[in-house]
Amino acid sequence: MKRVLELAGPPLLVLVIILGLWSLAVRIFEIPAFVLPGPERVFETAMFESERLMTGFRNTLIASTIGLLAATIVGVLGAVILSTSRLLERALYPWAVVLQTVPVVAVAPLFVLWVGPGLVSVVLVAFIIALFPILANTLMGLVSTDPALIDLLKMQGAGRVAIFRKIRLPNSLPYFFTGMRISAGLAVIGTIVGEMVVGRGGEEAGLGYYVVFSATQLKTDFVFATIIVSTGLGIGFFLAMVGLSSLVMGRWHESELRRDS
């Protein structure tokens, strides 16, 4: 309990101070609600619109998870393939960079044509945005192994698979999780962007859809409520990655051991 308080206490205290200042500023400067609604009003609206927010949360969570999983699988496999040959890396890596720089909002309407609107298109947007950090970081981890360690294993007669399993893979894990932490947040952002331009409404509406919905109806308080839920989801994804990283590397990697000490 003490540990939880130590960890969660400082950010919660900052949150309380921010909410207090926000509420005070709205009252003192008499800021109209359509410009900046106070936190109380945002909370009230969140309660009123709870059904829509829950639907949006559920759908965004599903799409973000699928997008991140797809990016993880493709990113790791891509990194492993690229790490096997300098030639392959030189040939394919620039295209991964190109994929990252594609203006995904502009491309998203094409997905509607190719695969139809809704979940698949939204997941594609999330996937494209989340892929590169995982690919680039994992690749960096795989290729930056200490050559002395590899020589040591070679001297003992280890083959490529054994070297990969015993040296390269463990060495790449911290890099991989760094990429995952970045991509976790990006997957949520990508999903929300996708839902704004190629998402479906009704029961399939995600948080991005409701951002546009509420802005169209000049409901700034609902926009805020949607943004707060989206941010919460992004933080949840990030924390899940931190937890996963701790679970996998907690007993042996310096970065995790240092955090525990």
> Helix, strand, or coil here: 235?
helix
Packing angle, helices 169-198 and 119-143, rounded to 10: 160
Give the one residue of 57, 177, 213, 224 binding another protein; rule: CB under 8 A: 213
Closest contact distance (angstroms) between CB of 167 and another protein is 48
8 A C-beta contact, residue 177 and residue 249: yes
How far apart CA 186 and CA 237 sit, in angstroms, is 10
Q: Is 228 one of the binding residues for another protein (CB under 8 A)?
A: no
Give the one residue of 56, 133, 199, 234 binding another protein; rule: CB under 8 A: 199
8 A C-beta contact, residue 42 and residue 228: yes
Which tokens sit at 162? Answer: 């054994």
How far apart CA 97 and CA 94 sit, in angstroms, is 5
8 A C-beta contact, residue 52 and residue 223: no
- Contacts with another protein, 120-139, as mask; x by CB under 8 A: --------------------
Closest contact distance (angstroms) between CB of 193 and another protein is 11
CB atoms within 10 A of CB 131: 26
Pick between residue 33 and residue 173 the one whose CB is nearest to another protein.
Answer: 33
Closest contact distance (angstroms) between CB of 185 and another protein is 22
Which tokens sit at 150? Answer: 């590899």
Closest contact distance (angstroms) between CB of 34 and another protein is 4
Q: Is 115 one of the binding residues for another protein (CB under 8 A)?
A: no
Give the one residue of 112, 153, 163, 242 binding another protein; rule: CB under 8 A: 112
Q: Is 189 one of the binding residues for another protein (CB under 8 A)?
A: no
Give me the residue label for tokens 């540990």.
3
Give the one residue of 145, 214, 226, 230 binding another protein; rule: CB under 8 A: 214
The span of 63-71, 146-154, 217-225, 243-251 binding another protein (CB under 8 A) equals 217-225
Which tokens sit at 19? Answer: 């909410």
Q: Is 50 one of the binding residues for another protein (CB under 8 A)?
A: no
Which tokens sit at 118? Answer: 């809704």
Closest contact distance (angstroms) between CB of 224 and another protein is 13
Give the one residue of 52, 181, 219, 253 binding another protein; rule: CB under 8 A: 219
How far apart CA 212 and CA 146 sit, in angstroms, is 50
Q: Going by C-beta distance under 8 Å and a sequence separation of 6 or more, which residues neighbour residue 79?
A: 134, 135, 138, 139, 141, 142, 172
Q: Is 32 one of the binding residues for another protein (CB under 8 A)?
A: yes
Q: Is 29 one of the binding residues for another protein (CB under 8 A)?
A: no
Q: Is 190 one of the binding residues for another protein (CB under 8 A)?
A: no
**Which positions lie near another protein, rule CB under 8 A?**
32-35, 48, 108-109, 112-113, 117-118, 195-202, 204-205, 209-210, 212-220
